Chains A and B, each alone.
Chain A
């Protein structure tokens, strides 16, 4: 079994779920540890949302095991989980405050507790002046912030958020990232599904990449990057570089050159050759691929 050797908040083993002829999830396995920010990645239609809905007991798995907060999902556990769906779910025709208080009370808060908690969060998310407006009158970004508040208001142990940054401007994106980090620091486990790879790189400790219902990449970001590095190097040198054996392509940008190597070329041999040819190097490093590049490589080229 993949995963960390500790008590996990989420355990998914060989999960499968089909809708008629369509196999939405075929074989997905991952685990999420307590206090971890975990990225659930994949192209559109890969099976991410179905996986989340099985975790939340909205769908029953056809095969495989799912354990949430140490066991099967129960009604009691629903109160310990915060969930923000990708397509937001707020009543559009009632005032914001009433909507949030009602949905928060379904999560076990008393109306007074909900009001108290909301005052702080609404102020922080710059929504305090809009509490009496109908939800439908608010911008998409405001509604998303309101949904984020609702997701975390009852201080859940596990937060599952689907595309948390989709409608947010850079300032609010930073605000939400800060909140996510704070939650992690307080010991909350966060499962985040998103297409924004740079956000994943900034926030997530570990990821799982699902493609066509199967987990194709799983582990820490560092380990995954290392796994996909080694075929390119970045060099900064005084003067032009000589022709080098085993180099497929040289891409120049600013003062650096990125050398794409053949599969069999060892970067150490390239370094030795450069030094042997008397090139004055001010920088030589293994090019670490971005998560975007890894994503494309895995999903489009099928490289694992």
Chain B
């Protein structure tokens, strides 16, 4: 009898995973991310111009035209011209990207003109101003020049020192929990589609009637949820492989420092998983119930998508949660089913969420997951074989007693 649970789970997995639409869905996310990265890289490549930047220094402040080493990965070369005509000739001959003109009154007026045919890349202009700063500070020590060229550096750190953010932006490891939370939500959205589509189809083609005369509703519900978990796990593994491949490529092939610093911290991931798993079961069970209630596959798909989007609502409070990651709102949302996983994922970017909150939240989510499975069993029993008719919510509430009599055996 127990083997029926595994048979149902395996068939659910097999019927959904080994089909073109699943492969398409599986590849869609990494392809979308890859496409976006590709577009950015292409734009950077197209923007890349290795020609020097020229300047005409009427003010006599540019004593050196080389930036201190190790400040930039790709330093721009600077070329001094005595006259504007010379610089313009070089520009027209495409020997330089552009040239700056510092007016004789520069020190008083700070007037600088930039002459170009096509606007130079931002990194070129940024490096020119750094060079200018270095020249203006030529009377100070070289170390101070380098420091000034580096610009302002704020490092934001939590009181316990376990989270810190450089002003250049968050590190890879600090945003991983957020991305994992997002991936789980995407996964749920896709799995929900498969679950609901399968349920409604089975009702429509009467296969459900044959199955429930072979096995119990309890085994059917358990088998379905296990099957969906299997499908989701497959997605997770596939996406994790794509993610690791992206990190490896970014680190080794494209020399992206963001990926080179990619040390995975497991604690935040485990916290998100501890809350995410019961949340996942709860939402799957509720979606199963939804599949029983809805009369058509289209209806189920629409409402299923909506219910998963509810889980994403904490993203609307991202600024508030970011500003006060341990605030009342953030803590409350961390406990509320549907919202808890995304909220904790968001908070973990900024702070280390206390373990007691994770335990409390995981307990609440587990209770709700059990309640959702109970409800799904009842709804299944009530809606069984009501072909083409939608079960009203009032009926679910008023007929709970009848359902208790009927029971859901496993």
Instruction: Please give the residue numbers on chain A whose beta carbons come within 8 Å of chain B beta carbons, in ascending order.
Output: 53, 56, 58-60, 75-76, 78-79, 81, 83, 85, 87-94, 102-103, 105-107, 150
Do B213 and A75 have beta carbons less than 8 Å apart?
A: no
Known: A60-B406, A94-B15, A102-B7. A78 touches B214 (CB 8 A): yes
Q: Nearest 3 CB-CB pairs, A to B?
A: A89-B206, A89-B210, A106-B214
Q: B326 near A: Cβ within 8 Å?
A: no
Do A56 and B213 have beta carbons less than 8 Å apart?
A: yes
Instruction: Count chain B CB atoms within 10 A of each CB in A75, A90, A92, A150 and give the residue with the most.
Output: A75
What would be 30 A-B contacts, judged by CB atoms less than 8 Å apart?
A58-B213, A58-B384, A58-B385, A60-B402, A60-B405, A75-B215, A75-B409, A78-B213, A78-B215, A79-B214, A81-B213, A83-B213, A85-B206, A88-B205, A88-B206, A89-B207, A89-B209, A89-B210, A91-B15, A92-B201, A92-B205, A103-B207, A103-B210, A103-B214, A105-B7, A106-B4, A106-B8, A106-B214, A106-B215, A150-B210
Do A89 and B216 have beta carbons less than 8 Å apart?
A: no
Do A75 and B405 have beta carbons less than 8 Å apart?
A: no
Q: B211 near A: Cβ within 8 Å?
A: yes
Q: How far is the CA of A200 from the CA of B330 in the complex (A)?
A: 70
B409, closest chain A residue (CB): A75
A87, closest chain B residue (CB): B206
Which residues on the A side are within 8 Å of B42 (C-beta)?
none
Q: Mark B192-222, 1 if CB is under 8 A from A, else 0.
A: 0000000001100111111111111000000
B223 to chain A, nearest CB (A): 10
Main secondary structure of the interface of B (DSSP, over half): helix
Q: B11 near A: Cβ within 8 Å?
A: yes
6 more CB-based (< 8 A) A-B contacts, given A56-B213, A92-B205, A106-B211:
A58-B385, A78-B215, A90-B207, A90-B210, A92-B201, A150-B210
Do B209 and A58 have beta carbons less than 8 Å apart?
A: yes
Known: A56-B213, A58-B213, A75-B409. A91 touches B7 (CB 8 A): no
Do A85 and B210 have beta carbons less than 8 Å apart?
A: yes
Tell which of A60, A92, A107 touches B214, judged by Cβ atoms closer than 8 Å. A107
Q: B316 near A: Cβ within 8 Å?
A: no
Please provide the chain B residues from 371 to 410 with a CB less than 8 Å away from any CB of chain A in the complex.
384-385, 402, 405-406, 409
Q: How far is the CA of A83 from the CA of B208 in the complex (A)?
A: 12
A84 to chain B, nearest CB (A): 8
Instruction: Count chain A CB atoms within 10 A of each CB in B1, B4, B209 and give the residue with the most.
Output: B209
B30 to chain A, nearest CB (A): 26
Which residues on the B side are within 8 Å of A76 (C-beta)?
1
In this complex, how many residues of chain B approach chain A with their Cβ under 8 Å: the count is 26
Do A102 and B210 have beta carbons less than 8 Å apart?
A: no
B384 to chain A, nearest CB (A): 6
Which residues on the B side are within 8 Å of A102 (C-beta)?
7, 11
Which residues on the A side are within 8 Å of B4 (C-beta)?
106
Q: How far is the CA of A106 from the CA of B384 in the complex (A)?
A: 19
A150, closest chain B residue (CB): B210
Do A89 and B384 have beta carbons less than 8 Å apart?
A: no
Instruction: Please give the residue numbers on chain B whose beta carbons come within 8 Å of chain A beta carbons, in ascending order.
Output: 1, 4, 7-8, 11, 15, 201-202, 205-216, 384-385, 402, 405-406, 409
Do B215 and A85 have beta carbons less than 8 Å apart?
A: no
Which residues on the A side are within 8 Å of B208 (C-beta)?
89
Q: How far is the CA of A90 from the CA of B205 in the complex (A)?
A: 7
Tell which of A90, A93, A106, A150 touches B7, judged by Cβ atoms closer than 8 Å. A106
A19, closest chain B residue (CB): B386
Q: How far is the CA of A56 from the CA of B214 in the complex (A)?
A: 10
Which residues on the B side are within 8 Å of A85 (C-beta)?
206, 209-210
Q: How far is the CA of A93 from the CA of B207 in the complex (A)?
A: 12
A147, closest chain B residue (CB): B210
Q: How far is the CA of A2 from the CA of B384 in the complex (A)?
A: 31
B377 to chain A, nearest CB (A): 15
Tell which of A59, A83, A94, A105 touches B210, judged by Cβ atoms closer than 8 Å. A83
Q: How far is the CA of A93 from the CA of B204 in the complex (A)?
A: 13
Which residues on the A side are within 8 Å of B202 (C-beta)?
91
A160, closest chain B residue (CB): B213
B211 to chain A, nearest CB (A): 6
A82 to chain B, nearest CB (A): 9
Q: How far is the CA of A61 from the CA of B261 in the complex (A)?
A: 66
Q: How far is the CA of A103 from the CA of B202 in the complex (A)?
A: 13
Instruction: Count chain A CB atoms within 10 A of each CB in B15, B205, B406, B409 and give the residue with the most.
Output: B205
Do A91 and B213 have beta carbons less than 8 Å apart?
A: no
Which residues on the A side are within 8 Å of B207 (C-beta)?
89-91, 103
Do A91 and B205 have beta carbons less than 8 Å apart?
A: yes
B10 to chain A, nearest CB (A): 9
Which residues on the B side are within 8 Å of A91 (C-beta)?
15, 202, 205, 207
A53, closest chain B residue (CB): B385
A62 to chain B, nearest CB (A): 9
Which residues on the B side are within 8 Å of A105 (C-beta)?
7
Q: How far is the CA of A75 from the CA of B385 in the complex (A)?
A: 19
B275 to chain A, nearest CB (A): 35
Q: How far is the CA of A53 from the CA of B209 in the complex (A)?
A: 9
B201 to chain A, nearest CB (A): 8
A154, closest chain B residue (CB): B214
Which residues on the A side are within 8 Å of B384 (C-beta)?
58-59
A275 to chain B, nearest CB (A): 60
A25 to chain B, nearest CB (A): 15
B208 to chain A, nearest CB (A): 7
Q: How far is the CA of A100 from the CA of B202 in the complex (A)?
A: 15
Which residues on the B side are within 8 Å of A60 (C-beta)?
402, 405-406
Q: How far is the CA of A90 from the CA of B209 in the complex (A)?
A: 10
B226 to chain A, nearest CB (A): 15
Which residues on the A side are within 8 Å of B215 (C-beta)?
75, 78, 106
Tell which of B1, B11, B206 touches A75, judged by Cβ atoms closer than 8 Å. B1
Which residues on the A side are within 8 Å of B8 (C-beta)?
106
Do A75 and B216 have beta carbons less than 8 Å apart?
A: yes
Q: How far is the CA of A91 from the CA of B205 in the complex (A)?
A: 7
A53 to chain B, nearest CB (A): 7
